[in-house]
Structure formats: structure tokens, C-alpha cells
Amino acid sequence: MNSRRTFIKQAGLAAAGALVLPSLAFAASNKVVGLQLYSLRAQLPQDVKGTIAKVAKAGYKEVETFGYSVKDKFWGLDPKAFKALLDQNGLTAPSGHYGMDKFIGGGDQDELRSYIEAANTIGSKYIVVPYLGDNLRKTEEDWKKVAGKLTEAAAICKEGGVKLAYHNHNFEFQQVGDTTGYEILLKGTDPATVQFEMDLYWVVRSGNDPVKLFTEHPGRFPMWHVKDMDKVDHTINTEVGTGTINFKEIHNHAKLAGLRHLIVEQENFAIDPYISIKQSADYIKKALL
């Protein structure tokens, strides 16, 4: 009986530790690295099956989708077929980028619900807002409306069994009134329902400090886009670990951020894309995980 009680107590402490220390749970996940498939947007339409196989071969275990629609599906594959392709290559898709301007601008729930259905079919936990059209974010009041719409979308997502997150660029950090769009979104949404996918490159390029944001809004950044900044031309990306961003220092604060998924993204390549994404994955596994 005592041994059973001891076991239950120890199991409870371990579970509590995983909740309190999400970074430790992340670090113990066999060095799992994800890839935002937008990195290979030129390759996917030509050969989706071959591209996904090469992503797995490069050392990735997770992918983040983009561009899904009922009409075009996942590069011609319906969600069930795409899920089967991921399974065949030992991949999962915890998150996906889904265009949300129609919902945010006009409240189109049908499109959002189609995303939720697709996300559930492929096994995703997060629907991520990837971008905001210029017409939706001109004033401080516009940003407040966006925050309200994110709250509405998060409630619909929760009903559908998934979570909502928002992915930043650099325009969110432009001044509007006495604040920024990003601050309005962070403060105007519920941490329990709206989370954030921090694109580290865009935060740094905008002149902001990721760690400062983690400190001010702890636990709200379960996903990061790990995208390095070229040493010469800051407007372009380079392989993770070869640019100017100090990922080791940022990753030291993974617990504070609430990190669960590291996702490589690279929007331009100076070398073969598959060599590039492997180099980035190898660096992250060696230096960060």
C-alpha cells in the first residue's frame, strides 16, 4: 500500500512539474523540430508527396501547414489524404496557418469552421492567424476590433476542439496612439483562449526584445518561428545559427514563454532549400534542445 501511495504521489509531482515547467517537457521531447511548410511553397505544388518525404528526411518530426481552403485543399490532397501522407513519413502537424481576414473583417464563420474541420482531421491543436490585411489595421480602434474578433474566433475554435493563436510580422509593433497593435492584441484578448506564435525574426527586426515580451506576458507564446537574420542584409533570412539572432539566449527563457513547439521558417534561400532546412534543424537540435 505504501509503495502504491508513494508511486501516486511521485506521479502527481511529475505531472505538476510538467505543468509548471513546460520548457522541461519540451526539452524531453526527443529534440522535435517543426518546419513551417511555407518555406517550401515553391516545391509543394509541384510534388507534395516528394516534398513532405524530404522534410522528414531532413530531420523534422512536425510541420506547420499553410494555405488550406476547401477548394484547393492541402496542395490538392483532402485533409484525410494529407494526414495519411504525414503518417507515412512519421510527421505530425500540431498547427496550421489559415487566412482569417474574412472572419476578422466580416465575421465569415463558414470558412473558419471549414478550417476547424480540416485541423481536426489532420490532428492539429492550433489554428494560427498568419497575417492581417492592411485595411483591417489602420487605427487603434481597428486593432481593438481585431482583438474582439480574435476572442470570437477563439470561442468558436474551442467549441471545435482546437485553440487559436496569432502570428506576428513587424507591422504589429508600429505605434498607434500611445500603444502598438501587438500590445492591444495581447492585453485585449484572454490568455486562456488566445495564444501567440512569436516570429522571433520579425520581433528582432522591428527593434523589440522577445524576452521582454515573455516577461510582460508569461506563458502566452507556446510556438516560436525560428528564423535567422542575415548578417549583411537584415531584410532576408539565413540558416538558423548563421545569422545575427542570439537564439541560445532567447531559448534560455523558454519556460517563461510557455514554449511547446519550435518551428523553422525561411522565406528565401541562397543554397539548396533541402540542405538549408536540414542545417537549421541540425543546429537547433545541437545548440538549443
Q: Per-residue pLDDT tens for 74-123?
A: 999 999 999 999 999 999 999 999 999 999 999 999 999 999 999 999 99
Residues 44 and 66 in one domain: yes
Element (H, E) at 96: strand 92-97
Confidence band, pLDDT 50/70/90 cuts, at residue 30: low
Measured CA to CA, the distance from residue 281 to residue 289 in angstroms comes to 11
Report pLDDT for 31. 74
pLDDT over 90 percentage in the chain: 89
Computed over every residue of the chain, the mean pLDDT equals 92
Tell which wins on pLDDT, 216 or 20: 216
Residues 15 and 42 in one domain: no
Report pLDDT for 20. 42
Per-residue exposure over 157-196, b if at least 16 CB sit within 10 Å of its own CB, e if not: beebebbbbbbbebebbeebeeebbbbbbbebbeeeebbb
Q: Count of H helices and E strands in the chain?
A: 13, 12
The mean pLDDT value for 137-155 works out to: 98
The mean pLDDT value for 125-151 works out to: 98
Residues 25 and 46 in one domain: no
Residues 81 and 195 in one domain: yes
Residues 278 and 214 in one domain: yes
Cα angle vertex 124, ends 149, 266, to 5°?
Answer: 85
Domain assignment of residue 10, given as a range: 1-29
